[in-house]
Amino acid sequence: MKIIQSPQEMQEISAGLRISKNTIGFVPTMGALHQGHLSLIQKCRKENDTAVVSIFVNPIQFGPSEDYQKYPRSLPQDKKLLESVSADFLFVPEANEMFPFGYQTKITVESLSAPLCGKFRPGHFQGVATIVMKLFHIVIPTRAYFGEKDYQQFRIIKQMAADLNLPVEILPCPTAREPDGLAVSSRNQYLSALERKHAPLVYQSLLEGGKLVEKKEKKPEVIRTAVIKKLQESSLISIEYVEIVHPETLVPVREIDETVLLALAVRIGKTRLIDNLMIQPAS
């Protein structure tokens, strides 16, 4: 695996590969790699001639009171993991190369950035869209892979690619889960032993909602109430939102008569966790 720090060098390598008709698969990450990332990279590896992974803890997607400084960083371990899944290139730029003094251009994907996590993390999705756009210009991928745990992020990037005619295919990958159902996330390592014991309730609450839809419950409020009730079994969990939205528009649905996204964000102690479930009503 070749490690590249310079955006210009990465861009030159990628441009050369594309000219010689290589397909480039790309997995953008913030490091602290886990099984979720590895499954994205394995899919990327299989479907493309060249697999590029980036690691960049993007300062502009963190709010002033969020965890940018303490976000887990584990480059030596990440490199080993990337070797084990045969990534070809690791792109690890420095913050001052990506956002030099005087930087001022941002990308906003308007409506899709407003609901769900957007309400609680102002500016977050603008930071994500901006860095992903920059990375796309540097890595020039044929295909880019995003985890469904961050469904809103995936949807926003897909919209950005369509709106701006980007020649890249945006592909979703299923959420990796621990054996007890907890969605794998770099932030899980912030949980104390006790908080970790309570964390599986997050996925269990989604399944509870899913069961009701399967039983033909059509009222979103009934599902929300059941999910909230399940989450309230833990005194350590505080709920940020539980929403049932249309998977394309992310607008709350009035009635469940087609596939919906049940999405939530909670805090367990100081750790913010998100998860979601795509639910199809029984026919």
Would residue 124 show up in a list of annotated catalytic residues for this protein?
A: no
CB atoms closer than 10 angstroms to residue 15: 12
Near ligand PAF by CB under 6 A: residue from 14, 39, 50, 58: 58
Extract the tokens encoding 216.
């033909």
Least distance between ligand PAF and beta carbon 99 (Å)? 12
Near ligand PAF by CB under 6 A: residue from 52, 98, 128, 231: 128
Task: Say whether residue 150 binds ligand PAF (CB under 6 A).
Answer: yes
Task: Say whether residue 144 binds ligand PAF (CB under 6 A).
Answer: no
Near ligand PAF by CB under 6 A: residue from 13, 32, 87, 132: 132
Near ligand PAF by CB under 6 A: residue from 13, 40, 109, 131: 131
Q: Could you give the CA distance from residue 114 to residue 51 in angstroms, rounded to a whole number? A: 32
Which residue, 109 or 131, has its beta carbon nearer to ligand PAF?
131
Q: Which of 37, 137, 198, 246 is catalytic?
A: 37
The per-residue b/e assignment along 78-90, b for 16 or more CB within 10 angstroms, e otherwise, is bbebbeebebbbb
Which residue, 147 or 209, has its beta carbon nearer to ligand PAF?
147
Task: Say whether residue 29 binds ligand PAF (CB under 6 A).
Answer: yes
By CB under 6 A, how many residues form the interface with ligand PAF?
Answer: 10
Near ligand PAF by CB under 6 A: residue from 14, 39, 61, 130: 61
Contacts of 110-116 spanning 24+ positions with Cβ under 8 A: 111/249, 111/250, 112/152, 112/155, 112/156, 112/159, 112/249, 112/250, 113/152, 113/156, 115/152, 115/243, 115/245, 115/250, 115/251, 115/252, 116/152, 116/241, 116/243, 116/245, 116/250, 116/263, 116/265
Q: Which residues are catalytic?
A: 37
Interaction site with ligand PAF (CB under 6 A) = 28-30, 58, 61, 128, 131-132, 150, 153
